[in-house]
């Protein structure tokens, strides 16, 4: 395992983190997994032994049951890992049952602490943008939680570039937390984060952790043109994320992943993860799994060293188009680009 500094902080996080999206299996989450405490203990044994120090969860996963399982399964080894959780999504039907208001965030943080059986959450994310709550209120609530010792660091998730920047601007004033991390969706199939979010990660020190780095299994190699919905997969059970707008492009990417996987003696999944670990601004990949064997296989991504030619092949087959104003800047501004500007250029 290797460790990366998380954004503009002094915190080190493992290159691979463990996701708990499949814990609990309640409501719509039942279609992706239903691990209980016993299974979670086995998975924690595996990932901690491999050096994983970041466990990711959220208050909405199985409506809190995932956090309860994390808390019970980590009993006696809480100090070995960092816990990341989130709040913002609808939790109940009340008028304040969702959002990033001071009221909602403080209530949900305190509930999460009880479920997790801990006195603090190491990284607390705003799970989704809330356009109705002033960002100043959100940041002040997060700072209050930091001052009270209930959280250590603050982050955001699923924000657009302008929403991240709008949140960073007022955080320069005392009494307002500053985001050190953003949890984003970013894969070979979905590279939109290169337009704004990864440049922000590099330029502003809001390091990225990546959720669903295998596109809900679509980049695992199990799904192909001839077998687009693999048996037992999330898609076979009705899961619809992420949206795929160009199926042929997806299969071309999978073809290259499978070819490179064969060359390196690994699966397509490990090539996809290894590519992400080369990307600027990316600190950690949140990897899920229902079995110890799945995690063991994905740890092999850390041993894969992709050559310049292999990286070029992956870039060519997955390259996103230059949208405005990036294509204009490519023509006229490139000589004065910073490292952040160059992430999406050719």
CA distance linking residue 28 with residue 32, whole number of Å: 8
Active site residue 61: yes
Q: Are strands 54-56 and 16-19 parallel, antiparallel or unpaired?
A: parallel
CA distance linking residue 155 with residue 266, whole number of Å: 33
Query: Cβ distance 50 to 289 under 8 Å?
Result: no
Among candidate residues 3, 61, 124, 324, the one labeled active-site is 61
CA distance linking residue 234 with residue 241, whole number of Å: 9
Residue with tokens 């208050």: 59
**Side-chain half-sphere exposure of 332, counting CA atoms within 13 A:** 6
Cα separations (Å) of 319 from 194, 212, 279, 339?
Answer: 10, 19, 13, 18
Query: Cβ distance 14 to 3 under 8 Å?
Result: yes
How many secondary structure helices (H) and strands (E) does the chain include?
11, 10
CA distance linking residue 315 with residue 304, whole number of Å: 17
Per the DSSP assignment, residues forming a β-bridge with 240 are none
Residue with tokens 């600027």: 280
Backbone angles phi, psi at 98, to 5 degrees: -150, 170
How many residues does this entry show for the chain? 346
Cα separations (Å) of 156 from 62, 134, 217, 234, 269?
Answer: 20, 15, 24, 26, 26
User: Could you give the residue numbers annotated as active site?
Assistant: 61
């Amino acid at each position: 395992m290797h460790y990366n500094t998380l954004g503009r902080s002094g915190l080190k996080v493992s290159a691979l983190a463990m996701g708990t999206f499949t814990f609990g299996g309640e409501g719509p989450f039942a279609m992706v997994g239903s691990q209980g405490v016993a299974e979670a203990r086995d998975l924690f044994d595996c990932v901690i032994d491999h050096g994983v120090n970041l466990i990711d969860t959220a208050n909405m996963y199985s409506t809190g049951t995932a956090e309860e399982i994390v808390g019970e399964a980590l009993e006696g080894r809480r100090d070995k890992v960092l816990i990341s959780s989130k709040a913002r999504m609808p939790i109940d039907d009340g008028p304040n049952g969702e959002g990033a208001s001071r009221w909602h965030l403080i209530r949900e943080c305190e509930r999460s602490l009880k479920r997790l059986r801990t006195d603090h959450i190491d990284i607390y994310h705003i799970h989704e943008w809330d356009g109705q709550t002033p960002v100043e209120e959100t940041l002040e609530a997060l700072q209050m939680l930091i001052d009270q010792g209930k959280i250590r660091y603050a982050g955001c998730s699923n924000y657009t570039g302008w929403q991240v920047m709008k949140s960073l601007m007022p955080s320069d004033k005392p009494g307002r937390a500053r985001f050190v991390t953003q949890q984003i969706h970013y894969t070979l199939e979905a590279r939109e984060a290169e337009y704004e979010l990864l440049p922000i990660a590099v330029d502003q020190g809001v390091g990225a952790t990546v959720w669903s780095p295998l596109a809900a299994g679509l980049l695992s190699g199990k799904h192909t043109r001839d077998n687009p919905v693999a048996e037992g997969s999330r898609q076979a059970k009705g899961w619809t994320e992420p949206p795929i707008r160009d199926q042929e492009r997806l299969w071309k990417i999978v073809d290259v992943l499978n070819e490179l996987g064969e060359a390196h003696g690994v699966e397509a999944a490990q090539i996809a993860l290894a590519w992400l670990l080369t990307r600027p601004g990316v600190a950690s990949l949140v990897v899920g799994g229902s079995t110890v064997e799945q995690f063991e296989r994905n740890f092999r991504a850390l041993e894969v060293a992709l050559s310049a030619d292999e990286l070029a092949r992956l870039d060519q087959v997955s390259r996103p188009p230059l949208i405005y104003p990036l294509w204009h800047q490519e023509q006229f501004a490139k000589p004065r680009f910073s490292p952040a500007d160059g992430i999406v250029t050719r």
